Structure 1
Amino acid sequence: MEGNDIFAELLPSSVHVVQSRTELEDGRSYGEEERYIAEAVPERQQEFRTVRVCARRALAQLGYAGVALVPDQKRAPIWPAGVVGSMTHCAGFRAAAVASTSDIRGLGIDAELHAPLPAEILDIILLPEEQVMAAELSAHHPGIAWDRLIFSAKESIFKAWFPLTRQWLDFLECEIRVDAQSHRFHAGIRATGPVAAQHALASMSGRWIAEGPRGQGLLGTCVIVP
């Protein structure tokens, strides 16, 4: 494991996570992956490779070796049978987490640079109620970029949601409530028809961490579907 693990305090022992703050190589090439990213810009190719090195190292802890991780037609990672997983990357950080389906049904992790969201996208990402909550939290806890944290929570929710439902979830179809004291958040899923109820996903919960004050370090969020 490379560097301080921002997810160590958030994930149960049944989840294996590997992260890196530097680019990594496997020592071998995976042709399926290379073909998938052949036309991507070099920066995208490197983050794609490194986060998959992290994923393979995490999978090794479950007994899987040399697995190519090519996205499906909807750009979701294809994990080995019996495995749930999630990957995340942002500037200077890559991480992957995996677990056995005998332990949990779903998993989502997300890391973001700890900086406020651009004002022009707030209405696309945050519901009006969430914008009010973020403002109230900022008044009492100004060291956290609450709007960015809510965005990250929604990313983790989607990463846990999509493999189970195979249905898109818009940012505004998910309402996040953040608890500043417990470092937990709750998500209520809106406007998805019967899918949420069918999969027992009408409400989901997660945990969050801030690596440093606003403007420094990373924000991390995670969701476990038991």
Structure 2
Amino acid sequence: MIRDLLPECVSGVDGREDVTAAGTLYPQEEAVIQAAVEKRRREFTTVRACARQAMAALGLAPAPVLPGPRGEPQWPAGVVGSMTHCLGYRAAALARTTHVRSLGIDAEPAEPLPDGVLEAVALPAEQDELAAARAADAQVPWDRLLFSAKESVYKTWFPLAHRMLDFSEARLSFHRTPGEATGGTFTARLLAHAPTVPPVFEGRWLVSDGIVLTAIVLPAGD
């Protein structure tokens, strides 16, 4: 599914089944995850298997993917990427820096957010727009879509700005693609300033097979 949201220059790999084979991780990765519970280990291992398949599609040798200080994936030189996982879904997207400056992907279950979460992540204007969107089409979990899109915004922002971005520091608007019932685009206007980051991100979204997916890709020229 993730490939449906990405341009040709981005290698995207996803899966619904976890990798369970021993020896899948590099020793450096094993050291990171050695004390984790089994659920976390499966997520960590499978999403890195997706990342290495994406590396191979770009003609790159497999390499470990270690978390940085904020948990962000650290990619080989000349590569940008993003990973995501939720219940029943894992995905990774990678590109060469000659084509893409930064990217972010996120996956969430296609169900409403828990009580109180929307108010914590959405601006008042966003809440009003989501209410109108929900009245027009209740099949899309608009609150979960907003949450996912803001996660993709953060994942795109952080490698460029190297600092945190609060949920309140991006103003999102969603758009439907003509003829597409369960997908479209979104615009994120950044309310925080960083000299290395453009003020507006454009992304794509999709709801399919019980999963909400969002993706942002900044071309190298942006």
TM-score norm. by structure 2 comes to 0.92
Please list the CA deviations of residues 24-63 of structure 1 after superposition, one character each: whole Å capped at 9, or x if unmatched: 2475441111111112111001100100000001011122
Amino acid aligned to 2:11: H
Q: Which residue of 2 aligns with 1:9?
A: 4
1:221 to 181, 194, 214: 214
Please list the CA deviations of residues 89-108 of structure 1 after superposition, one character each: whole Å capped at 9, or x if unmatched: 00011000100100010111
2:70 is the alignment partner of 1:89: no
Provide the aligned length of Structure 1 versus Structure 2.
Answer: 213
Amino acid aligned to 1:128: P
Q: In the superposition, relative to structure 1, how do residues 223 and 26 fare at CA in structure 2: closer, same or farther (>3 Å)?
A: farther
Secondary structure of the 2:148 match is helix
Please list the CA deviations of residues 170-214 of structure 1 after superposition, one character each: whole Å capped at 9, or x if unmatched: 111111101134511000111x24x1xx124211110001115xx
Secondary structure of the 2:2 match is coil
Please list the CA deviations of residues 114-134 of structure 1 after superposition, one character each: whole Å capped at 9, or x if unmatched: 001112111211111111111
Q: Which residue of 2 aligns with 1:3?
A: none
How many Å separate the matches in 1 of 2:71 and 2:22? 22
How many Å separate the matches in 2 of 1:40 and 1:124? 28
Q: Is the 8 A contact 1:26 1:53 kept in 2?
A: no
What are structure 1's unaligned runs of at least 5 residues? Answer: 1-5
Quote how far apart the aligned CAs of 1:72 are. 1.3
What are structure 2's unaligned runs of at least 5 residues? Answer: 179-183
Amino acid aligned to 1:19: D
Q: Which residue of 2 aligns with 1:63?
A: 59
1:20 to 15, 36, 46: 15
Q: Which residue of 1 aligns with 2:199?
A: 202
Q: For residues 147-226 of structure 1, what are the structure 2 equivalents within 5 Å?
A: 147-181=143-177, 183-190=184-191, 192-193=192-193, 195=194, 198-212=195-209, 217-226=210-219
